Structure formats: structure tokens, C-alpha cells
């Protein structure tokens, strides 16, 4: 609701300032989108398309252009897909469902796992977490604390042990306890570290081997504060683990996370969840309309 109103306000301000749809108008629009981290290339393409659309429909008055702008943005997100539904998380009807979390350092993987565990548990599901980050100081204790908060089981080994072995144990435990969902945490890693990316592929292979069609989601966590590097993250993590969805975290700050538009456009990876804070309940499904409106909010 709030984002919706501020979207129209922002667009209205823009519209009020310029009577005609001219170069200045498009320049201002370009600045708004670039400052939301949408990325230069995507913005340029978008402005070009908008200019064409404005010509085609013979729009001269800026007030008419308002609709076209938000249409265009949502279209960039959904591409030619007609369906504008929020894409939910894939499930395994034969249980257990396995979700693998990946991403660079500090983006919010462990926290999101805690939140998701809480949500699934409150939906009546039996959830197990696997502490696959055996590297970072305090990572196991952190996931353990989240497990306690959510009231779910955590499988862990000691610090420094092999992450693939922890995940393997997690799978066995989930199977034997008849858990509905296993969520695997992994250590943060920068995408240009080849060894660490290989380690992640290995973890994924272990999951594939133990449960057919698993993992049912590979979720790449992206920090909304991140700029253009998020595209490189999406590309490289996809190569290593075939990412199926994005979790966009820290949208409660002032950063807009506009780069996910470019990622959706170029790599067709949808955003599935958004993080809106540090509390256990601060996780929501992604809504492209609200997101687009948010790009224009102050």
C-alpha cells in the first residue's frame, strides 16, 4: 500500500515538472532508475523502448506516459510471460523437499533460512536444517540459534569439517525422521573463487545423488544493497549450481535492488522471496508490482 502511493507520487512529481515528454523528462526517469541500481544497459534499453512506445501511441502529454512506464517495467520483469503470479517454492510430493541456499558473504543466507524454517514450521511442516557453513567463525552457532528460535532440528558437524558430509547427514536425518523439508545452509563465497564454487557444485551433487530431483530449489540470496556485481553473482552461481530462484534481502533499507530486473531479463531467474528485516517474520513472497513501485519511492 505504502509503496503504491509513493510510486504514484514520484511519477506524479516527475510528470508535474515536465509538461511535454521530451529529453529532460527521459533523463530524469533514467536517473531515478539508475539510482535504484537497475543498471545502465537495462535502463537505456528501457528508455529506448519507452520512447518508441510514446511515439507509437502519439503521446505528447506527460500525464499519459505514467501508465506506460509502470507497464513497461513490470513487463521487463515478467518478459513475455503472461502469468503475473508470484512464483512459490517448488515442493517434492514424495518428500523430503530440499532447499539449497547459496550466495556471497554476508547477504543473509543463514537469517533467511531461519525465517523460512519458521514459516514452514508454522504451516505444520516438519523441518530440518543442515549447517553446511563449517568455515565462518560462529556460523554453526548462528544457524543453531535460528533453529532454536524456529523450533526445528539442526544437523551439524564441528567447525572446519567437510560441508558435503554435513549435507549428506542432513539428508539421511531428514529421510529417517520423515521430515517434509530440509534446508541446507552453505558458507558465503565470492563468485570468483573457483575452488569454493567447485565445493558448492560438489554439495549439490551429493543432494542430487541421495534424492531424485533434489534440490527442489537452489536459492541465490542477493543483498538489495549490492550494485551491478549482483549480475556476475547470478551468472556464476547459476553455472555452478543451476540457481532456480532469488531471495532479495535487506529491502527494508533504502536500497532498491533494481538489478533483479536485469537478472530476470538476461538470465530468466525469478525472485521468489524478499527479506524485510532481521526478525523471524520478516520474509515475504515477491510481488513484482510492489517492487516496481518501490523503485520510485524515496
Partner 1 sequence: MAFEGLSDRLQETIKKIKGKGKVDEQDVKEMTREVRLALLEADVNFKVVKDFVKRVRERAVGQEVMESLTPGQQVIKVVKEELTDLMGGDESKIAVAKRPPTVIMMVGLQGAGKTTTTGKLANVLRKNHNRKPLLAAADVYRPAAIQQLETIGKQLTMPVHSEGTEADPVDIAKNAIEKAKEDNHDYVIVDTAGRLHVDGELMGELQRIKEAVNPDEIFLVVDAMTGQDAVNVAQSFDDQLDITGVLLTKLDGDTRGGAALSIKAVTGKPIKYAGMGEKLDQLEPFHPERMASRILGMGDMLTLIEKA
Ligand X SMILES: Nc1nc2c(ncn2[C@@H]2O[C@H](COP(=O)(O)OP(=O)(O)OP(=O)(O)O)[C@@H](O)[C@H]2O)c(=O)[nH]1
Q: Which residues bind Mg ion (CB under 5 A)?
A: 109-110
Q: 101, 184 in Cβ contact below 8 A?
A: yes
Q: Where in 235-254 is the site for partner 1 (CB under 8 A)? A: 250, 252-254
Closest residue by Cα to residue 246 from 296, 294, 195, 291: 291
Backbone angles phi, psi at 18, to 5 degrees: -120, 130
Could you tell which of partner 1, Mg ion, ligand X, none binds residue 275, using a CB distance below 5 to 8 A set by kind? ligand X
Residue 136 — left, alpha, or beta (φ > 0 → left; ψ -120 to 50 → alpha)? Answer: beta
Nearer to ligand X, 252 or 287 (CB): 252
Q: Where in 170-199 is the site for ligand X (CB under 6 A)? A: 187-188, 190
C-alpha dihedral, 72 to 82 to 243 to 128, nearest 10°: 120
Residue 242 — left, alpha, or beta (φ > 0 → left; ψ -120 to 50 → alpha)? Answer: left
Q: At what angle do helices 194-210 and 229-241 cross, to 10 degrees?
A: 40
Does the footprint of partner 1 cover residue 142 (CB under 8 A)? yes
Measured at CB, which residue is nearest to ligand X?
Answer: 188
Does the footprint of ligand X cover residue 277 (CB under 6 A)? yes
Question: Least separation, in Å, of the C-beta of 136 and ligand X?
Answer: 5
- Take residue 9 and report the three cell numbers written for it: 507520487
Q: Which chain residues interact with ligand X by CB under 6 A?
A: 103, 105-111, 133, 136, 139, 187-188, 190, 221, 249-250, 252, 275-278, 282
The footprint of partner 1 (CB under 8 A) covers 31, 34-37, 39-41, 104-108, 114, 135-139, 141-142, 144-146, 149, 159, 190-192, 223, 225-232, 250, 252-256, 259, 278
Amino acid at each position: 500500500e505504502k509503496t503504491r502511493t509513493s510510486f504514484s507520487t514520484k511519477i506524479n512529481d516527475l510528470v508535474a515538472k515536465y509538461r511535454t515528454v521530451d529529453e529532460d523528462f527521459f533523463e530524469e526517469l533514467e536517473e531515478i532508475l539508475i539510482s535504484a541500481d537497475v543498471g545502465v544497459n537495462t535502463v537505456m534499453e528501457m528508455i529506448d523502448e519507452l520512447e518508441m512506445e510514446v511515439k507509437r501511441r502519439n503521446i505528447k502529454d506527460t500525464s499519459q506516459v505514467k501508465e506506460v512506464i509502470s507497464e513497461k517495467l513490470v513487463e521487463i520483469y515478467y518478459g513475455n510471460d503472461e502469468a503475473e503470479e508470484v512464483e512459490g517454492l517448488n515442493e517434492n510430493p514424495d518428500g523430503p523437499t530440499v532447499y539449497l541456499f547459496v550466495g556471497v558473504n554476508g547477504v543473509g543466507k543463514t537469517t533467511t533460512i531461519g525465517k523460512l524454517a519458521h514459516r514452514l514450521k508454522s504451516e505444520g511442516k516438519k523441518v530440518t536444517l543442515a549447517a553446511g557453513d563449517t568455515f565462518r567463525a560462529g556460523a554453526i552457532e548462528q544457524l543453531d540459534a535460528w533453529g532454536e528460535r524456529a523450533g526445528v532440528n539442526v544437523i551439524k558437524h564441528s567447525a572446519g569439517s567437510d560441508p558435503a558430509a554435513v549435507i549428506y547427514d542432513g539428508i539421511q536425518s531428514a529421510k529417517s525422521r520423515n521430515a517434509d523439508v530440509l534446508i541446507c545452509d552453505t558458507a558465503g563465497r565470492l563468485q570468483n573463487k573457483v575452488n569454493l564454487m567447485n565445493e558448492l557444485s560438489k554439495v549439490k551433487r551429493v543432494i542430487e545423488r541421495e534424492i531424485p530431483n533434489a534440490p527442489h530449489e537452489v536459492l541465490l540470496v542477493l543483498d538489495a544493497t549490492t550494485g551491478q556485481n549482483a549480475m556476475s553473482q547470478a551468472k556464476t552461481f547459476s553455472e555452478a549450481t543451476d540457481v532456480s530462484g532469488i531471495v532479495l534481502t535487506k529491502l527494508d533499507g533504502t536500497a532498491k535492488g533494481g538489478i533483479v530486473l536485469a537478472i530476470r531479463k538476461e538470465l530468466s531467474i525469478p525472485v521468489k522471496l524478499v527479506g524485510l528485516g532481521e526478525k523471524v517474520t520478516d520474509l515475504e513472497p515477491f510481488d513484482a508490482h510492489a517492487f516496481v513501485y518501490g523503485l520510485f519511492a524515496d
